[in-house]
Structure 1
Amino acid sequence: MPALRIHGYALALSFCLITFIAASQRTDPSEVNALIDIKKSLIDRKHNLKNWNKGDPCTRNWTGVWCFDKTGDDGYLHVREIYLMTMNLSGNLSPQLGQLSHLEIMDFMWNNLTGTIPKEIGNIKTLKLLLLNGNMLSGSLPDELGNLPNLNRFQVDENQLSGSLPDSLANMTSVKHLHLNNNSFSGQLPSTLSKLSNLMHLLVDNNNLSGNLPPEYSMLKGLAILQLDNNNFSGNGIPSTYANLTRLVKLSLRNCSLQGAIPDFSSIPKLTYLDLSWNQFTGPLSSNKLADNMTTIDLSNNLFNGSIPRNYSYPHLQKLSLANNLMSGSIPASIWQNMSFGVKDKLIIDLHNNSFEDVLGNLNPPANVTLRLSGNPICKNSNTQSVGQYCGPEEDKAAQDSTNSTVCPVQSCPFNDFYEYAPNSPVPCYCAAPLRIGYRLKSPSFSYFAPYRSSFEHYITDSLKLHLYQLSVDSVAWEEGPRLRMYLKLFPSYNDSRSNVFNESEVRRISSLFTSWRFPRTDFFGPYELLNFTLLGPYENIIIHSEKGKVSVGIKVAVAIAAAACALAISAIIILLITRRRMKYHKKISRKSTTNLSIKIDGMKSFTYKELALATNKFNISTKVGQGGYGNVYKGILSDESFVAVKRAEAGSLQGQREFLTEIELLSRLHHRNLVSLIGYCNEEGEQMLVYEFMPNGTLRDWISGRSRKTKGSLNFSTRLRIAMGAAKGILYLHTEANPPIFHRDIKASNILLDSKFTAKVADFGLSRLVPDLDEEGTAPKYVSTVVRGTPGYLDPEYLLTHKLTDKCDVYSLGIVYLELLTGMQPISHGKNIVREVNMARQSGTVYSIIDSRIGLYTSECLEKFLTLALSCCQDHPEERPSMIDVVRTLEDIIAMLPEAETVFSDVSLDSSGNIAPPSSSASASTSASHVTREEQHMSSYVSGSDLVSDVIPTIVPR
């Protein structure tokens, strides 16, 4: 009888499962199998695709899989988009991609994919966006890609593709954007591309193309950007028919081995940007004037002769370069005299290394103009100072972008490091969590951004349907191309119900607009690249899906009904089983609630919950000394009367659990004077706590900000240098002596702790990463591919873009800490970035005005060297930053330059309350002079140099 009952249960359960699966498995089975094969071809080291074997792709929202919201005629749901941008994926593209017969968008940008592009992709007739740029794909382009009649955008730039461009590309009759740049394509440009009547942007720069420029391209009536720089064309130069490209906005043929005369482009009404530099063009410049829209004319490094036409005057011109030619005659001053300059406008006129003899008109360009005349007879023949000032090397006179000057109290933005002041908000000191977006203009039609910044901001906010104040454009930098990289910060509206964060649907909407390239067309700003759409802080757990990728309500209802029917069918079985096993079940649950992860580490003490509760007076708020995402930190006194810091993970905090395990794993085997010591841990009664040595002087951030409760004074310059040295030595140990090496990933002033003698100790290893083992050739990897973690303001810009964590990421963060030590500023405050602010002050010669006024006495030479080191650590490109061993050596040299009285620590003791005892009278003298000579400053530094903590005194700077 029992056997029959069990058999009946099994039949009922099987029936329900079949019914439920039939209702929930709604994706086309061939597409499900294809997705599984696609995953098998990929190497997913970060497990981003871990849910690709759980349930149905469309109804269970597999990562990066977006589906149509309604079933097709065949009764199935179909995959609409594969969105796997910046997922740290390697491996190959599977031929099974061709089975996704309804796919419209395929996005694998910015991964590490290798191998070839499968020809089977040509089977996806519905494909509109094919985005494979930023990988390591090799081989040639398959002819079958020409079978994509609906393709709008084809991006394979920044790969290692080679071979000739197939004629079949001409069959992409709908394509508007062909981005083939930065590969190794060879052979001739196919003349058949002239059949692409919808083509607007053709970027094939930085390849190995040769042969003639096809004259047939004059048939591309909609072509707005033609960028073919750095190829090896030959023959007859630029076809004269290119003057018929009446929609052309930008023509860039730099370094293409072209020769002969250039066509007359005066009939192209929208032409804005013309770069024909580094070729072998000859003849005089045409007297026919180009369009008034011109911002850039670069004809340098050619063989042009004759004089500059007198009508070479353009109201929006930013750059005119005729350097290194054979030109002669007079320079018409009308080039700059007829312009009306705004505050943010500038013009560079580079005429060096020609044969110009004089200036026709008044040689007195306004401050916005940079004029370069070196290497011309005018510099040798004239003795006037007015000419001489333009004959030497001269830096660009760039107008500075205006910055927000609102001063907001720190406590008005209290949430955490992921929140910032919205610099353009009409509400003063509006604090919110922005979305951070890496963005790059691939082919802008200007040479200087400031005059067009406002129109760019309107373009972005109008496209996103946001208010203008919700956008902040940060970290704008020119890169090779030239391309313009920046970070966009989008702030939520202050009128929303949860005004300090975007809601999930708004995040998804904004993401969808960026990733589907649905921004309105703009040829002036050119095509853009989405470098990253990183979700941090309150957005970290949002899974981005297209609004159109959600399944319909009807499908969800069908699944829910099937689930309900199944539940009703087996409810009696479940109730019976629960009734029989209730007592046993509750006992099991009870045991489980008190079962903890078994951890046993040699040399590490395991504390009981009772011990730590007693040490902290039951975690009384009076013993609380810190707080973070993991939970709270308490000061405790153990039974042996030693002081400790107890980090207690917040109940249910996944971050706290991760940090608990990571820190035990790392700190149990790390031992260095400049790393905080882990004494033990507690892992019982549902609690996870870490016990550290107690650091009586708290965090460096507290001392820099003046919030420390330990003293009314501040850290003097020599003490700041030694703290900088201690932190550097701790990080150097992690990078070079730990086995395996460790990348800290969250270096910041609040993670540098100070003991009773102000020895710096690096703390908080919850985000740290071990460097992978040596490869088969015995070489250590240079980076770890990982999702972005860390604190805004300290994050390496390159890491944000590439997700490649290297030792130079820690160097960058440490450089930010050094700038904090020098200035007292926060990394990001009131819409200002500390690196930019210090660089601007240094370039303008006002750097001493931003040095922390509480820093005490210093010599200008030591400060200048420390400042140079800090800024070198904060270079945008990792290869330009020093290694940690170089940082330590430089600091050793700076400290050696200090006066002898400053090179030895004095003993600093704490009184019974944990405050610093007053220094002896002999070491407390200070000067009231606000300005002294260098010799006086050097001698004065002996007075208070031995004090680790000095009273606030005027900063002494060189006169």
Structure 2
Amino acid sequence: MLESSRIQGKRMLKLRITISVLVLSCCYFVYIVEAQVTAPSEVNALIAMKRKLVDPMKHLANWEKGDPCTSNWTGVLCNETVGTEGYLHVHEIQLLNMNLSGSIAPAVGQLSQLQILDFMWNELTGSIPKEIGSIASLKLLLLNGNKLSGSLPDELGSLSNLNRFQVDENQISGPIPKSFASLSSLRHLHLNNNTISGQIPAELSNVSTLLHLLLDNNNLFGYLPPEFSLLPNLRILQLDNNNFKGREIPASYGNFFRLAKLSLRNCSLEGLIPDLSQIPNLSFLDLSHNQLTGPIPSNKLSDNITTINLSNNLLNGSIPASFSDLPFLQRLSLENNSLTGSVPANIWQNMTFASSEILVIDLQDNSFSDVVGDLNPPENVTLRLGGNPVCSKGGMTNISRFCGNEDGDNGTLGNSANSTSCPTQACPTDNFFEYVPSSPVPCFCASPLRIGYRLKSPSFSYFPPYELPFEVYLTGSLNMELYQLHIDSYAWEEGPRMRMYLKLFPVVNGSQTFNASEVRRIRGIFTSWRFPGTDLYGPYELLNFTLLGPYSTMIFPDQKVHISKGILVAIVLISVVCVVAISAVVTLLIARRKTRYQPSLSRNKLSSKVSMKLEGVKSFTFREMAVATDNFNELAKVGQGGYGKVYKGNLYDNTVVAIKRAEEGSLQGQKEFLTEIKMLSRLHHRNLVSLVGYCDEEGEQMLVYEFMPNGTLRDWLSGKTKEYLNFSMRMRIALGSAKGILYLHTEANPPVFHRDIKASNILLDSKLTAKVADFGLSRLAPVLDDEGTVPHHVSTIVKGTPGYLDPEYFLTHKLTDKSDVYSLGVVFLELLTGMQPISHGKNLVREVNMAHQAGMIFSIIDSRMGSYPSECVERFVALALMCCYDNPEKRPSMLDVVRELESILKMMPDADAILSETASIYSGKSLPSSSSHVSLDPYVSSSVSGSDLISGVVPTVTPR
């Protein structure tokens, strides 16, 4: 027995030794393979580069150890497959913000397949090596934020694949090489904040791909190249703080096709301001601190304009009347000129303000003698009149409060932590874990990624109205949920630029940290500039991507390497032995993983704890909701949907409200709850239902709306009500609904796609005014990208209601404004017929199409609406069917829909009465013009024929 045990022990020992030898052999073999992977010339180049760098933090300590592509050399990323010559190649050098000094070695030119060279935010000195010009594959050359000097090498003009060249915030001198005109793929040229001198080469106008040209804060002189107006995709032209003394702004600058920002501040420019009214997307205009003369051009600037700064010039004349109709204006600076006449109060009277919006009007130190209109601007408006005769004029009441010279603050935000009361000891006590501020599950503790981020040239002056759209833009680009992003703080800097600090949190109820692959993915998006470009936010720069706490030990990159088949087979064979040796351990780990505790969600955990204070939106307690509904008595219930039940409630001040209460365990409702609060808090229109408040406690989620005593349009069309809607009433409802959606598509900033337009989401007040409701599925529209195209869709999973779903959206998952047009077209067909979109297997769009083609349209008109003018009905049918085209491009815009409805109403006998009740309140302004407007009258239009209106049969959308 004892001998047997000894033998068994020896066998076990031999087995262990054998396994150990095999494992060591495997590791050694892999090491030998790895040591010979990267192209030798590139290994030598990297070693030469390291020797030219000073690395006090020892970030590059692992360089020269092992192989660059397989040993995780800091900041070195390689391609994943071996080339034809049998080697891997370096594709990226990512050495952002590593406190490096020294210089860039000319050997960098040996990295023949390099695509990204990133040395941003270090302390590098010396000149830019001309050898970089030989790297034909280079796409991103990022050297900004160093101390580089010397001139820009002519050789860089050979980089035909270069997309982005950033050398701003250095000490570069000399002229801009004319060879840069050969950078045929260049989109971003950032040379600002250097000492570059000389004439701006007119040859740069040959770079047709150019989007952003930032040359501000240099020593440039000469003239402004008029040829720049020929650049077809230019979005930002920023030349501030140069010296073009005695030169004028070329008149051709009024011909820019896509320009969003023109900034020529403090350039010693003279002459007249050219007419810039034909630039369709101009958002930001700064011509301040020059010597411009003459009057301000009277033609109206783009509706997109947020900032007009003409201060500190020699301008005369009066304020143009066109300044009174700029819906998104945030700042009008005309101070320190010689302007005369009266100040028109309708600059602010014609505007409507959401709680997050402001308007600063600075008219100091001119010769204004009067104010025409009501001198009582709302709280959102800051008016400065100091230094004008009007301030010393008697008889004007309340004028003194506008005559000081104080300056407002448009600037710094510190987002507060979650207001939810969470246990202080539940989160780890170190500084790298915290409660997720906007978590849909309360008191979720996690460690965020901390990111420094700066908007280099935004096209706005005040951030709060764009904060939520920016969060949606950023999280959408990162494929993350909205609550995962927290803007910790932001502040305006000289430029103007906006620095912000972001925190990105893991998904709730998962791990408290991101795993390495997710960190790598997020970092890659930031460092490779894969965010879609926007005119509004302009170019950005990554200031830091600091890995702290649980992320501090992560090494990047962690790469997959594909090597030759023979070596791969050998590695696989040896790896099989290694796998067998450790299979028991793996099995144990899997068993433990399977037994991991999976927490269940309770109603309390579903509470989102909305940590935001919204003006005009009240936070109610659960007790207040219970009292208002008599403890949610069934007698108070007025409806029910997928989200939950709806109750009629009476608040303590006798206000009658509708209270929508989420069903227990409704994860979908939880997301819609947050979406609807954030959407409705910033949307204000008479044809949109108003959000009174919300309740988010006791594990409950409730939304409180204004009460609509006449219920839903679906109720009226289904016969649940005792009365019926005549044709005039239906047209009023159609027009009111269309105006509400038009507001979402064109005046909401940014625009909104509703995504669930249907008859049950159109509510009717006591006067049967239509109000669009239920924004739980809504999505913000996308913004312009950097490729010179307009991304008019949002890619998203299909949501909505069968029968109302846009077939194109259903098939492609591309949501557009035309998806809402389709859904509204179905509602129009319901108004005409009284039928439901899908009933007994029949699709309403198909049925009406067939009746229209057969000339039998009047046979399916709802008989309950009484008499009607046949010509009006025919035009309404034509409009509805056009809205329901299966090809989105053939559908009208919402502006065209509203215009056609108003045109139909004018044909009716009681047109004046109807139109007076549905008078346009498009934010106090008339409907905007549309350069692409097409008449929708099939009887008079030469561009839209009657057969076009009914071509094709819209496919049935099967309920899911």
Fold shared by both chains (TM-score > 0.5):
yes
1:358 correspondence with 2:370 = yes
Q: Given the alignment, which residue of 516, 523, 526 partners 1:504? A: 516
Does the alignment pair 1:226 with 2:240? Answer: no
CA shift at 1:561, angstroms? Answer: 2.6
Question: How far apart are residue 412 of structure 1 and its match?
Answer: 2.8
Aligned to 1:374: 386
Q: Deviations over 1:871-905 (max 9, x none)?
A: xxxxxxxxxxxxxxxxxxxxxxxxxxxxxxxxxxx
Task: Name the counterpart of 1:423.
Answer: 437
Residue of structure 1 equivalent to 2:482: 468
Question: Is 2:571 the counterpart of 1:561?
Answer: yes
Q: Determine which of 107, 130, 142 is the counterpart of 2:141.
A: 130
Secondary structure, counterpart of 1:193 in structure 2:
helix
Opposite residue 470 of structure 1, the aligned amino acid is Q
Deviation at 1:73, TM superposition (A): 1.4
Asked if 2 retains the 8 angstrom alpha-carbon contact of 1:66 and 1:550, the reply is: no
List per-residue Cα deviations over 1:188-207 (Å, max 9, x = no partner).
Answer: 10101001000000001000
User: Equivalents in 2 of 1:181, 1:19: separation in Å?
Assistant: 48
CA–CA distance in structure 2, aligned partners of residues 372 and 51 of structure 1: 60
Q: What is the aligned partner in structure 1 of residue 118 from structure 2?
A: 107
CA shift in 2, pair 1:19/1:332, >3 Å: closer
Counterpart CA distance in 2 for 1:374 and 1:45 is 54
Change (3 A) 1:22 1:463: closer
Q: Name which of 153, 160, 171 aligns with 2:171.
A: 160
Aligned to 1:330: 342
1:87 — aligned with what?
Answer: 98
Matched to 2:571, the amino acid is I
Q: Of the candidates 333, 337, 347, which is equivalent to residue 321 of structure 1?
A: 333
User: Secondary structure at the residue paired with 2:322?
Assistant: coil
- Among 42, 50, 53, the alignment partner of 1:31 is 42
- Report if the CA contact (8 A) 2:234-2:258 is conserved: yes
Q: Distance in 2 between matches of 1:551 and 1:23?
A: 9
Whether contact under 8 Å (2:30, 2:571) holds in the other structure is: no
1:544 alignment partner, SS class: coil
Q: 1:410-449 maps to which residues of 2 (within 5 A)?
A: 410-449=424-463
Q: Deviations over 1:14-47 (max 9, x none)?
A: 9x99996466411111111111111111111111
Of 49, 72, 97, the residue aligned with 2:60 is 49
1:597 matched to which residue of 2? none
User: How many equivalent residue pairs?
Assistant: 552
Of 183, 196, 203, the residue aligned with 1:172 is 183
Superposed displacement of residue 405, structure 1: 2.8
Counterparts of 1:821-832 in structure 2 under 5 Å?
none
- Tell me which residue corresponds to 2:465: 451
Q: 1:235 to 1:90 in 2, by over 3 A?
A: same
Correspondence list, 1:392-407, <5 A:
392-396=404-408, 403=416, 404-407=418-421
Mark the CA change 1:501 to 1:451 in structure 2 (over 3 Å): closer, same or farther.
Answer: same
Distance 1:42 1:379, change over 3 A: same
So what's the TM-score if we normalise by structure 1?
Answer: 0.56
Aligned with 2:313 (options 295, 302, 319): 302
Change (3 A) 1:59 1:365: same
Give 2:711's aligned residue. Answer: none
Q: 1:183 aligns to what?
A: 194
Q: Secondary structure at the match of 2:517?
A: helix
State the alpha-carbon separation in 2 of the partners of residues 116 and 486 from structure 1.
31
Letter matched to residue 383 of structure 2: L
**Conserved 8 A contact 1:101-1:124:** yes
Structure 2 match to 1:212: 223
| SS in structure 2 of the partner of residue 178 of structure 1 | strand
Look up the match of 1:339.
Answer: 351
Instruction: Return closer, same or farther for 1:23/1:562 CA change in 2, 3 Å cut-off.
Output: farther
In structure 1, the residue matched to 2:562 is 552
In 2, Cα distance between the equivalents of 1:90 and 1:473? 31
Whole-angstrom distance in 1 between the partners of 2:38 and 2:129: 23
Checking the alignment, whether the CA contact within 8 Å between 2:34 and 2:67 is kept in structure 1 is no
| Residue 80 of structure 2, aligned match among 62, 69, 76 | 69
C-alpha displacement of 1:311: 2.3
Shift of 1:560: 6.9
Counterpart CA distance in 1 for 2:28 and 2:421 is 63
Deviations 1:149-174 (A, max 9, x none): 00000000000000001001111100
> Does structure 2 conserve the Cα–Cα contact (< 8 Å) formed by 1:20 and 1:562?
no
- Deviation, structure 1 residue 399: 10
Contact 2:487 2:500 in 1 (8 A): yes
**1:584-663 correspondence runs (5 A):** none
Matched residue SS, 2:476:
helix
Amino acid at match of 2:425: Q
User: Do 2:284 and 2:459's aligned partners in 1 also have CA atoms closer than 8 Å?
Assistant: yes
CA separation in 2, counterparts of 1:71 and 1:271? 48
Residue pair 1:114, 1:135 contacting (<8 A) in 2 also: yes
When normalised by structure 2's length, the TM-score is 0.56
Q: Contact conserved, 1:370 with 1:397, CA < 8 A, in 2?
A: no
For residues 820-899 of structure 1, the aligned pairs below 5 Å read none
Give the letter aligned to residue 491 of structure 1: F
1:482 paired with 2:496, answer: yes
**What amino acid maps onto 1:163 in structure 2?**
G
Please tell me whether the aligned partners of residues 343 and 399 of structure 1 are also in contact (alpha carbons under 8 angstroms): no
Partner of 1:533 in structure 2?
A: 545
Is the Cα contact below 8 Å between 1:20 and 1:563 reproduced in 2?
A: no
Amino acid at match of 2:212: H
**Secondary structure of the residue that 1:112 maps to in structure 2?**
coil
CA 176–277 in structure 1, closer or farther in 2 if over 3 Å, else same: same
User: Counterpart in 1 of 2:109?
Assistant: 98
Q: 2:402 aligns with which of 390, 395, 403?
A: 390
Equivalent residues of 2:427, 2:435 under 8 A apart = yes
C-alpha displacement of 1:236: 3.3
Aligned partner of 1:203 in structure 2 is 214
Q: Residue 490 of structure 1 aligns to which amino acid in structure 2?
A: L
Q: Structure 1 residue 555: deviation in Å? A: 7.9
| Cα offset, 1:360, TM superposition | 1.2
RMSD: 2.5
Q: 5+ residue gaps in structure 2?
A: 1-23, 579-960
Deviation at 1:49, TM superposition (A): 0.8
| 8 A Cα contact 1:164 1:186, kept in partner | yes
Rounded Cα–Cα distance in structure 1 between residues aligned with 2:509 and 2:178: 54
SS of equivalent residue, structure 1 residue 411: coil
User: Which residue is 1:145 aligned to?
Assistant: 156
Question: What amino acid does structure 1 have at the position aligned with 2:84?
Answer: D
Quote the offset at 1:446 in angstroms.
0.4
Contact 1:368 1:398 in 2 (8 A): no
Query: Which residue number corresponds to residue 610 of structure 1?
Result: none
Query: Which residue identity is paired with 2:276?
Result: F
Q: Give the deviation of 1:383 after TM superposition.
A: 4.7
C-alpha separation between the residues in 1 aligned to 2:566 and 2:457?
44
Q: Distance in 1 between matches of 2:456 and 2:49?
A: 30
Secondary structure in structure 2 of the residue aligned to 1:267: coil
2: CA distance, partners of 1:524 / 1:20: 50
Q: Is the 8 A contact 1:457 1:468 kept in 2?
A: yes
Q: In the TM superposition, what whole-angstrom CA distance separates every residue of 1:601-642 from its partner, at most 9, and x where no partner exists?
A: xxxxxxxxxxxxxxxxxxxxxxxxxxxxxxxxxxxxxxxxxx
* Partner Cα distance (2:68, 2:565) in 1: 14
Give the Cα separation in 1 of the matches to 2:310 and 2:130: 42
Shift of 1:557: 6.5
Q: Secondary structure at the match of 1:533?
A: strand
Q: Distance in 1 between matches of 2:118 and 2:283?
A: 32
